Amino acid sequence: MALPNDTMNKQQTQKRILIATVLSFAFFIAYDFLYLQPKQAMVNEANAKNAVALEKKSSVNTTEPSTQAAPVIQSQSGANNAPISVLTENNIIATITTQNNVIEIDNLGRIHQVTLSGNQYIDDDAKHIKLFEANQLKPLEVRFSNREINEEAFKTNVTASQEKIDATTNSTELILTQRLTDTTLTKVLKFYPDGHYDITASATNNAKFFITTGFRPNVLVDMYADHGALLALNDGTLNIIEDGDMDKNEELIGINAASAFDRYYATALYNYDISMAISIMKDANDSPQIFIHANDKISLHGYMGPKEYRTLSALDPRLTTIIEYGWFTFIAKPMFILLQYIHDYVGNWGWTIVFVTILIKLILFPLSHKGMVSMNRLKELAPKVKAIQEKYKSDKQKASMHMMELYKKEGANPMGGCLPIILQIPVFFAIYRVLLNSIELKGAEWMLWIDDLGAMDPYFVLPILMGATMYFQQKITPNTMADPMQQKMFQLLPVVFTFFFLWFPAGLTLYWFVNNLFTIGQQYYVNTIFKNARIERHEKHVEEKTHNKKD
């Protein structure tokens, strides 16, 4: 049985939840605007400076990671870290053209560069996007456990079976051979029209080696989305190591997929039929570098390119785990699948967001309707509640008991208005993460002025409309708050939210705007029901009063 003071506690709890919800949104938006965006500007500036500096440095990574399992995982510059000149076109020994990319192999048997094809993969300079920088660890680089073999390998050119390969229509094989004094390293690569590849790497004389995914693509690295290394374990769990977070090298086993990724792009090596052992080495910036233990032979599948859900799913549905949405992955991933499904029929991502918003509103309709009804009933009961509080102001226990009886009799729930608001929070963050991490929405157009739903509205139309609908929604929503300070805070919310949403992705603002529109319609409907009920009660009261006078 409820305690006598439960009603007042519920009222207070309701107010606290509402305030906490608003503050959580406000904090999230303020954190984005006041911290993430300025920090991202600093990162961009630093990256620009580093890019200039890297042009003068070696074309290879100069860290020298090592572990017990891998006694020698040397850098390509050798034991003495002697500088190596930047690679030129003369160092590219094979070029593979597929439907989706152009892959260049250098004279050390590494994937030196991947250039993406397609009009959606154009950078700010109107050039096709390249995944890798000159001075970074490259995919398929091999490091031997034996120090002497390793040093020789970094000084010995690899030969290729073909120089120019056209894999746009059929899969094509390339054999890379590196002949050393005590071993011969052979990489047999099979490239497919969609741009992915298979690799079997082997070394004679039982020479143990390690092969790497390379450092992550550096196309879009920002503070909004995770970037670093992702490992998929045999038990279905993920191990994510973000850039800058490594304090020591790590040894892991039971891995079937390894990926190095930025916001939209990834390089991955995977084989779901074996269990891999992996060394994660930190570089000079405490960022992860992945080395797969090969012993003297290993067979893997490889992918380098955009983290498109359908592309990865076509290779292996389990590979879609490398698309990571942060804390809200468990909601964001199903949300994206739903968006993708509807997009197949709608054909436009903007209208897809509109339809998904409507669908979410329909699913939550019973709960939100119940909450709105409760808020209206609480508003109608406010005079009676105030009378009870005045009557029993010296006895709070009795006041609580009578208020509880009143609410029970009238079917009002002081907590009824909170649940729909609480349920909106994970949906909001899930859509936010989908818009940030799904490359499918990058460059997606909507209406006449939105050319990228993943970027801010260039003319601030949607944020202003969102703020206006939020203001109108607030005006027609019953307010049971007695505290003037709380009322003023809520009255300022449309202005505050409009200001911060100016820089939010247009797709997220579109979701919030459409959500507001349908909330207004639903609130107007509930308000009309209560208004008609009041009119009926009033007319009935007048009729009864007139009838009594006649009697």
How far, in Å, CA of 139 to CA of 266, rounded? 11
What pLDDT does 32 receive?
A: 52
Could you tell me which residues come within 8 angstroms of residue 69 by beta carbon, excluding any fewer than 6 positions away?
251, 277, 279, 293
Residue 138 has pLDDT above 60, yes or no: yes
Claim: this prediction has a pTM higher than 0.85: no
Domain ranges of the chain: 6-40+336-550, 69-322
Percent of the chain surpassing pLDDT 90: 45
Residue 230 has pLDDT above 90, yes or no: yes
Residue 36 is classified by DSSP as I
Q: How many helices (H) and strands (E) does the chain have?
A: 12, 17
What pLDDT digit, counting tens, does each position of 241-268 carry? 999 889 899 999 999 999 999 989 999 9
What pLDDT digit, counting tens, does each position of 488-539 carry? 777 788 888 898 888 888 998 999 999 999 999 998 988 888 888 777 776 6
What pLDDT does 90 receive?
A: 57
What pLDDT digit, counting tens, does each position of 278-297 carry? 999 999 889 999 999 999 99
- In DSSP notation, 80-147 reads TT---PPP-GGGEEEEEE-SSEEEEEETTSSEEEEEE-STT-B-TTSSB-B---SSSPPTT-EEESSH
Strand ranges for 192-227 from DSSP E: 197-203, 209-212
Per the model's pLDDT, the better-predicted residue between 389 and 335 turns out to be: 335
**Local structure of 228: helix, strand or coil:** strand
Residue 133 has pLDDT above 80, yes or no: yes
What pLDDT does 550 receive?
A: 64
Exposed/middle/buried for residue 121 (C-beta within 10 Å: 0-12, 13-18, 19+): buried
pLDDT band at 347 (very low <50, low <70, confident <90, very high): very high
32 close to 499: Cβ distance less than 8 angstroms = no
What pLDDT does 21 receive?
A: 54
Q: Which CATH class is domain 69-322?
A: mainly beta
What pLDDT does 62 receive?
A: 35
- Residue length of the chain: 551
How far, in Å, CA of 519 to CA of 529, rounded? 15
At 285, give phi and psi (nearest 5°): -105, 15
What pLDDT does 166 receive?
A: 97
- Residue 411, amino acid: G
What pLDDT does 489 receive?
A: 73
Residue 40 has pLDDT above 70, yes or no: no
**Pairing of the two strands 209-212 and 288-295:** antiparallel
**Local structure of 460: helix, strand or coil:** coil
- In DSSP notation, 375-419 reads HHHHHHHHHHHHHHHHHTTT-HHHHHHHHHHHHHHHT--TTTTTH
End-to-end CA distance of the chain: 46
404 close to 385: Cβ distance less than 8 angstroms = no
In SS3 terms, 291-341 reads as: EEEEECEEEEEEEEEECCHHHHHHHCHHHHHHCCCHHHHHHHHHHHHHHHH
Per the model's pLDDT, the better-predicted residue between 477 and 471 turns out to be: 471
What pLDDT digit, counting tens, does each position of 55-93 carry? 444 333 333 433 333 434 544 433 333 333 344 445 999
Per the model's pLDDT, the better-predicted residue between 20 and 466 turns out to be: 466
How far, in Å, CA of 98 to CA of 117, rounded? 9
Percent of the chain surpassing pLDDT 70: 77
What pLDDT does 280 receive?
A: 95
Among 146-150, 151-155, 524-528, which is the least confidently predicted range?
524-528
49: tokens are 């400076």
What pLDDT does 86 receive?
A: 40
pLDDT band at 123 (very low <50, low <70, confident <90, very high): confident
What pLDDT digit, counting tens, does each position of 403-440 carry? 787 777 776 666 655 666 677 778 878 888 888 788 88
pLDDT (mean) for 297-315 = 96
Longest CA–CA span in the chain (Å) reads 120
Could you tell me which residues come within 8 angstroms of residue 50 by beta carbon, excluding any fewer than 6 positions away?
none
How far, in Å, CA of 441 to CA of 359, rounded? 19
Residue 150 has pLDDT above 50, yes or no: yes
**Local structure of 428: helix, strand or coil:** helix
Average model confidence (pLDDT) for the chain? Answer: 81
What pLDDT digit, counting tens, does each position of 445-467 carry? 898 899 888 888 999 999 999 99
- The count of C-alpha atoms lying within 13 angstroms of the C-alpha of 172, restricted to the half-sphere facing its C-beta, is 21
What pLDDT does 266 receive?
A: 95
Per the model's pLDDT, the better-predicted residue between 4 and 174 turns out to be: 174
pLDDT band at 224 (very low <50, low <70, confident <90, very high): low
pLDDT (mean) for 211-221 = 89
Helix, strand, coil % over all residues of the chain, rounded to 5 = 45, 20, 35
pLDDT (mean) for 379-388 = 78
Q: Angle 6-31/419-437 helices, nearest 10 degrees?
A: 20
**Pairing of the two strands 164-166 and 92-97:** parallel
Among 34-48, 156-170, 179-193, which is the least confidently predicted range?
34-48
Q: Mark out the alpha helices in 217-296 (DSSP H runs).
A: none
How far, in Å, CA of 81 to CA of 77, rounded? 5
